[in-house]
Amino acid sequence: MPDAKPRRIVIDTDPGIDDAIGILLALASSEFSITGLTTVAGNIGIETTTRNAGRLLAFAGREDIPVVRGEAAPLSRPGPEPLNLHGENGIGGVALPDPGRQPESRPAVPWLADLLLDQPAGTIEILALGPLTNLARVFLHHPDAARRIGGIIAMGGVIHETGNVGPRSEFNLWADPEAAEVVVSSGLPLVLVPLDVTRRVRASREFALALRAAGTPLAVMVADLVESYFETKTHQESRPLHDPCVMLFALAPELFRLEDLHLVVNTGSTGEAGALTVDARGSAVRVATGVDGPAVLDLLARTLTAA
Ligand code: RIB
Ligand code: CA
């Protein structure tokens, strides 16, 4: 619906190559009005994720959007070591301009709480692309504000497949399982997009070449980001676009299958930390369990090449 009012979103992120592609997709989508990028430590440390958020906005000429520095460590356990999957600078070594402005002076948790209390209830959605530490702290310390969140779409978890950091653990939930438990059991309107789905939305070298052939700065930048993904794991023929699936679900939910599941988050030892168990005693969560992979890849390519 071209004349629909843009959806006001905050992107909570640990950029990260796939975060960067998701952020650039959101920036290219007129359906979204991005109120801010809140950063969290995850793929790499908080200073780098915050700097990368600013660099992406500088590249897109969108320094009007604030970057708000979030939590540097999980709620109650040591943070993960930086993932070399995302390279030294966290975005695969891809060259981006320096941030055009400083991050906001206030930390992400009070900034988010104030935003939610200032704006009409239900008008702000959160697209969460990293560990859920910021959102968990908003719920724990500012519950009245948290209850005004219009919706949360979070990349995280794995239901039926193997994890990517443990037999049943996916990185975002594994990095801060206590935060995941808070958000999953909060009763907030949450849609979880797990590895079961994101692994079916894969960028191949051909996909990157088609973007590069389109020639627009945005499409070429995403081609650079995808190809940098291959440098770190060259034996792969394609790379999963985990975080862009959050934006793609928000843009075209009809291309995904949703199920209402009752989930328990494992907050135990690091081996099983963040693992999800489907259990009737668990918390009700809407989970994306299927996707039309070719159709969402086509939507991604069309959006990036039209901008
Ligand atoms: O497991 C995939 C998730 O972990 C993605 O958000 C990726 O950016 C990393 O943070
Ligand atoms: Ca991420």
Q: Is the CB of 171 within 6 Å of ligand 1?
A: yes
- Mark residue 274 as left, alpha or beta (left: phi above 0; alpha: psi -120 to 50; beta: remaining): left
d(CA 245, CA 22): 8
The pLDDT score that the predictor gives to residue 3 is 64
* C-beta of residue 179 within 8 angstroms of C-beta of residue 136: yes
pLDDT exceeds 80 at position 128: yes
Q: Is the peptide bond before 16 cis (omega within 30 degrees of 0)?
A: yes
- Residues 239-249 have pLDDT tens digits of 999 999 999 99
**In-domain check, residue 215:** yes
Reduced to 3 states (helix: H, G, I; strand: E, B; else coil), residue 224 is: helix
Judge whether 1 lies within some domain: no
Distance CA 232, CA 57 (A): 24
Indicate if ligand 1 lies below 6 Å from the C-beta of 42. Answer: yes
160 is catalytic: no
Does 295 fall in a domain? yes
**Whole-prediction pTM:** 0.96
Where do we find the tokens 């209830």? 121
Span from the CA of 177 to the centroid of ligand 1 (angstroms): 14
Q: Looking at residue 18, which CATH number applies to its domain?
A: 3.90.245.10
Residue 198, classed as helix, strand or coil, is: helix
| CA 2 to ligand 1 centroid distance, Å | 31
pLDDT score recorded for residue 91: 85
Region 30-42: mean pLDDT is 97
Q: Is residue 271 part of a domain?
A: yes
Which carries the bigger pLDDT value, residue 85 or residue 271?
271
Cα-to-centroid distance, 170 and ligand 1 (Å): 8
- pLDDT the model gives residue 230: 79
29-38, 87-96, 137-146, 212-221: least confidently modelled range: 87-96
Alpha carbon separation from 52 to 172, 181, 274, 291 (Å, rounded): 18, 27, 26, 29
Structure confidence at residue 235 (pLDDT): 58
Which of 243, 247, 248, 276 to probe ligand 1 with, by most ligand atoms within 8 A of CB?
243
Regarding the beta carbon of 155 and ligand 1, being less than 6 Å apart is answered yes
Catalytic member of 141, 160, 242, 262:
242
Most ligand 1 atoms within 8 A of CB, residue of 44, 127, 155, 246 to mutate: 155
Q: Is 196 in the pocket of ligand 1 (CB under 6 A)?
A: no
Residue 2 lies in a domain: no
Task: Give the pLDDT score at 89.
Answer: 83
Give the pairing type, strands 124-128 and 7-13: parallel
The predicted-structure confidence for 237-284, as pLDDT tens digits, reads as follows 789 999 999 999 999 999 999 999 999 999 998 689 999 999 999 999
| Closest residue to atom 1 of ligand 1, CA basis | 171
pLDDT digits (tens, 9 = 90+) for 193-203: 999 999 999 99
- Ion ligand 2 neighbours (CB, 5 A) are 14, 16, 19, 129-130, 243
**Residue 182 near residue 136, CB atoms below 8 Å:** yes
Question: Could you tell me if residue 190 is inside a domain?
Answer: yes
Nearest listed ligand to the Cα of residue 155:
1
Q: Which amino acid is at 221?
A: M
Mean of the per-residue pLDDT values of the chain: 94
* Inside any domain, residue 285: yes
Q: How far is the CA of 132 from the centre of ligand 2 (A)?
A: 10
Name the band, by pLDDT with cuts 50, 70 and 90, for residue 122.
very high
Cβ–Cβ under 8 Å, residues 243 and 18: yes
Q: Amino acid letter at 284?
A: A
In a domain, 283, yes or no: yes
Burial 70-94 (b: 16+ CB within 10 A, else e): bbbbbbeeebbebbebbbebbbbeb
Query: What is the number of structural domains in the chain?
Result: 1
| Tokens, residue 225 | 């980001």
User: Over 70: is that where the pLDDT of 30 sits?
Assistant: yes
DSSP state of 119: S
Single-letter code of the amino acid located at 81: E
At residue 57, the 3 state secondary structure works out as helix
Q: Is the pLDDT of residue 233 over 60?
A: no
User: Per-residue b/e over 16-41, b at no fewer than 16 CB within 10 Å?
Assistant: bbbbbbbbbbbbbbebbebbbbbbbb
- Whether 120 and 149 have beta carbons less than 8 Å apart is answered as no
Structural domain for 266, as ranges = 7-306
232 pLDDT above the threshold of 70? no
What would the two tokens of residue 270 be?
Answer: 């690091």
